[in-house]
Structure 1
Amino acid sequence: MLLAIDMGNTQTAMGLFDGDELVQSWRMPTDRSYTADEIHVRLMGFFKMYGLSLDAVDAIAFAGVVPQLSREWHAVADRIAADAIVIGPQTAAVTKLRAARPQAVGADRVANAVAAETFYGAPAIVVDFGTATNIDVIDEDGYYIGGAIAPGIRISMDALAARAAKLASVPLEAPEHAIGRDTEECIKVGAVMGAAAMAEGLVTRMKRELGREDATVIATGGLAGIVADSTDAFDVVDGQLTIKGICEIYRRMQELG
């Protein structure tokens, strides 16, 4: 089985695949202080929770932005005798990038582009709501060509709470109205509907630049479901898109030999 790892700045998403089938998925905090021992113990706990065996994992594929944690994950892979690959230069032969600096494109964005083309067709636009809100554009030939990066919803809310003492932290929920009736609802409107409106505006402009109004728009990331409740800009909501892309890249690497 393959364990696909999407290591973001805030959370690490994991997916266990048996072939192309996603057997189970988990999330845990991305803590830069974690050692291989701590990661190993957490993994054993997740697997035990669902009656799975860590011994069944024969490969681990990473898409990550935290180099020191990548080293710890590699140590875990060695312990369980699993092959390990990292999305990036090692996998460039099976991915398609038309970027000014391909080596600088985030591994998660590469995985999103591969998954979008594979499962939903091209052209496509992926809006990934994570620590940052990433928008990835895939042209009609299936190549990642660029996109946009904006502060994520939680970053914006944390900054607001830190700078405005009277505005306490508010739970992230889709508001019922565009006009907030009290302070808490006003913050939800600004955060959630604001993120939805930004996505709508950028997606509209990107479709125009592509010359393809029919480009499939896919929302992913931990907050995609909440934002999707406030907009009809998305054709698909797929919270597992990135780990599915990691799995697809691993499959292509196996075929490449």
Structure 2
Amino acid sequence: MVNKNKYLFGLIGLTAGFLISFFWTQSYNKSTAVTAPGSTGGAAGGQPNQQAMMANVSATLEKAKNNPKDFEAQVDAARTFFQIGRIAEAIEYLKKAHEIKPDDINVTANIGILYSEQKNFAEAEKYFRRAIEISPDEAELYVELGATFIQREPAEPDKAVEELQRALKIEPKNSHALGHLIEAYLLKKDARLAEETLARLRDAEPTSQKISSYQTLISDVKAGRAITVPKE
């Protein structure tokens, strides 16, 4: 299964187990070098570094507030709020950036990811669909959209299958899509299609650590046992 840790928000690394799509990384990491907190060792330097970081945070947020039409300033503010774990504010600044550049795929897709992380799947769906309108050939957008239908309560596996199949038309060996497709079929209690998709996953990514757990779930479905499909 694809390790979404590499699809970071383009901020400071995986500080909170937060998983963001590749669009942000591909674009903004090219132009923004960010040093993770604590990268310079020594207790003696810790306090000055923390003070400097907080001063930088304040300056970044002040710039965004004073320059509401500055796209990069809004993006930087979103990045800063993400760094300090304030996801709701990060979303708001990304939405400000989105208002300035509504066709920016990076911002649009990541608003969807952030809403997904907050389990606001209706809003996530809205922004993923906008992102697909901007970049209809990006398989990962359909994967993320499909995943929202798996994660909802109640789940909507038929809609998930539809979006994941679209992703696989673009990238037939996308292991992220294949894994979610297995999950959708499991939710539908369709052991045959889940097993066929598992074979495709084995071919696409034979070292995936999820293969054995999927096989167990498929066996449980065949046996009529209740299952719990893992959530991301």
Whether the TM-score (by the shorter chain) exceeds 0.5 is no
Higher relative contact order (CA 8 A, sep 6+): 1
Give the greater-gyration-radius structure (CA). Answer: 2
Report the TM-score when normalising by structure 2: 0.27
More strand by share: 1
